[in-house]
Amino acid sequence: MNSPALSLRHNHFLNGGSAVASGIRLARSISSSSTSSSPFRVRMSLQENGPSVAVVGVTGAVGQEFLSVLSDRNFPYRSLKLLASKRSVGKSMKFEERDYTVEELTEDSFDGIDIALFSAGGSISKKFGPLAAQKGTIVVDNSSAFRMDENVPLVIPEVNPEAMAHVKLGSGKGALIANPNCSTIICLMAVTPLHRRAKVKRMVVSTYQAASGAGAAAMEELVQQTREVLEGKEPTCNIFNQQYAFNLFSHNAPIQPNGYNEEEMKLVKETRKIWSDKDVKVTATCIRVPVMRAHAESVNLQFENPLDENTARDILKNAPGIVVVDDRASNRFPTPLEVSNKDDVAVGRVRRDVSQDGDYGLDIFVCGDQIRKGAALNAIQIAEMLL
């Protein structure tokens, strides 16, 4: 899929609900939320003194979103190299009115590259990430390959920018920086401001994860399955081994010996690393739901210090990268559709946990665009911090 950003657009359903109208399509997004208040925003573009940038896995959903975010934020660069597997070599792509040719990823791809944005899978990152770093490239990796490596910072710019303070662009020293898992980013964007005030002792997370988390092919299959099911046909199940349209199921990540799947354990382990708190208690249940893009999460918090819901709401309203959607009178709260193609993470359903005494517990509901803040935007904010 070649569009810089992907979204589900639907115009109407045929009368009687017998089939999905042809208006359902995957298309380039033309919207993105305002990020003018972000301390990481940069207003520059192609310039001779900018860094040389490479995008690895450029033909994938996140790779395409890298390009979209680079353009939206006018990220400064003096050159841009687009890298992918051999099957995409020679493909022509246009970026900011210039034509580029996709090159094959090889060991020589990073000569003269200052910053490399990786989203090509863990095995590719493990092979080429260290090679790039050895050549002086700062690698921002979107896979899980290096997240739990104690020598690799795991960074959400609004949460723990200090973790990468030792990495300097132009020092001649390459480095690896890891992007957290999308669910972790979306969760901690909302929870960290509250954690700073009242210290989270225990966090219970239930996720409702979109097709975008499994890539462009899964997004396409959800559209295809929707048509097939409404037309009374057997759904095509190439990406997942069961029907996805009009269904939900436990996240498809491998199950670990403790009964948790890998996605759930990422939330546990990454939270502890990002917060530098090995004692915080975290448990998670991750579910795949038939939403095109943008994950939702229900989060239950237990605090060491009291924090009432009104104070929590005020804290969230003033937190960078957060928008509060919490209108009880109108029953209006965050939805995946509303945050799709948006930079901000939306938080609502802020309420005291009535199962706990006093103001020591809260429930919140969080939605964030998995491809954007959950992947590409976070990586490019990391790159911006290097400038």
Residue 139 is encoded by which pair of tokens?
A: 């690698």
Amino acid at 205: V
Q: Which of 182, 187, 286, 367 is catalytic?
A: 182
Residue 158 is encoded by which pair of tokens?
A: 């609004």
Distance separating alpha carbons of residues 157 and 179, to the nearest angstrom: 10
Q: Is 195 a known active-site residue?
A: no
DSSP 8-state assignment for residue 13: B
Q: Is 295 a known active-site residue?
A: yes
Q: Which of 195, 251, 295, 367 is catalytic?
A: 295
Q: Rounded to an integer, what is the distance from CA 150 to the centroid of its chain?
A: 22
Which sign does the torsion angle of CA 150, 153, 155, 158 carry? positive
- C-alpha distances out from residue 30 to 3, 5, 26, 59, Å: 11, 8, 12, 19
Radius of gyration of the chain (CA): 21
Q: How many CA atoms lie within 13 A of 287 on its CB side?
A: 14
Ramachandran quadrant class, 25 (left: phi over 0; alpha: psi -120 to 50; beta: rest):
beta
The CA-CA-CA angle for residues 255, 261, 265, to 5°, reads 135
Q: Could you list the active site residues?
A: 182, 295
